[in-house]
Amino acid sequence: MYPSIATTVLPRIEESIWFKFVLAFAGSVLLAVSAKVQIPFWPVPMTMQTFVVLVIGMAYGARLGAATVGLYLAQGAIGLPVFATGSGLGYMVGPTGGYLAGFLMASYAIGYLASLGWDRSMAKTLAAMLAGTLLIFTPGILWLSSFIGFEKALAAGLIPFLLSESLKIMLAVLVMPLIWKRLSD
């Protein structure tokens, strides 16, 4: 198993629950900010939320990455305004609830793939990012389809995001191996 970026940069993190909590809290704040900031894009405005979910998983590792996303979801569940729009349990079981569940699954899975070294080369980072994106959008589309039907869920919950997701994946493919290159220099 390969170490995560977090444990490479902060080796004492393995020994300290406080370091882990600080990283999880910082990651949950970054997720909240990434949900709120919208970049004008076509056909829909782009947030960096899925990028941050996947990079947190990859940089923190499976357990800390999932714990960070879990903390973010818990903050939203208790009513803190961390999501793009809305908050609370009612919001979480609404039309976008599947995507939120996908965040948790994707952060764990991509963290696991990173522990296998999938964050160190462009090709493997691409494969990991594609897998993570599928783990976000598959439950998102399936859950959304229970509200509006499958074809409408694809039209509203996937197709408008394909271009922006592709750009975020490519950004991660460029950034993650570069971070490892810098860390190994």
Comparing 66 with 11, the larger pLDDT belongs to: 66
pLDDT at position 14 is: 78
Mean pLDDT of 17-23: 93
pLDDT at position 184 is: 85
pLDDT at position 185 is: 76
Tell me the residue type at 17.
I
69, 105 in Cβ contact below 8 A?
no
Asked whether the whole model's pTM tops 0.85, one would answer: yes
pLDDT at position 10 is: 87
Which backbone phi and psi does 73 adopt, to 5 degrees?
-65, -40
For residues 114 and 117, give the distance between their C-alpha atoms in angstroms, rounded to a whole number.
Answer: 5
Within a 13 Å sphere around the CA of 155, how many CA atoms are in the beta-carbon half? 5
Bridge partners, residue 39, by sequence: 46
Tens digit of pLDDT for each residue in 133-169?
999 999 999 999 999 999 999 999 999 999 999 999 9
Confidence of residue 15 (pLDDT cuts 50, 70, 90): confident
Tens digit of pLDDT for each residue in 119-137?
999 999 999 999 999 999 9
pLDDT mean across residues, the chain: 95
57, 114 in Cβ contact below 8 A?
yes
Tens digit of pLDDT for each residue in 32-71?
999 999 888 888 889 999 999 999 999 999 999 999 999 9
Tens digit of pLDDT for each residue in 58-109?
999 999 999 999 999 999 999 999 999 889 999 999 999 999 999 999 999 9
Mean pLDDT of 12-38: 93
pLDDT at position 102 is: 98
Give the closest residue to 166 by CA, choosing from 135, 126, 121.
Answer: 126
Which 3 state secondary structure label does DSSP give 47?
coil
Going along the chain from its start, the domains and CATH numbers come out as: 5-184 (1.10.1760.20)
pLDDT at position 59 is: 97
From residue 135, give the alpha-carbon distance in Å to each of 15, 22, 44, 123, 183: 31, 26, 21, 19, 29
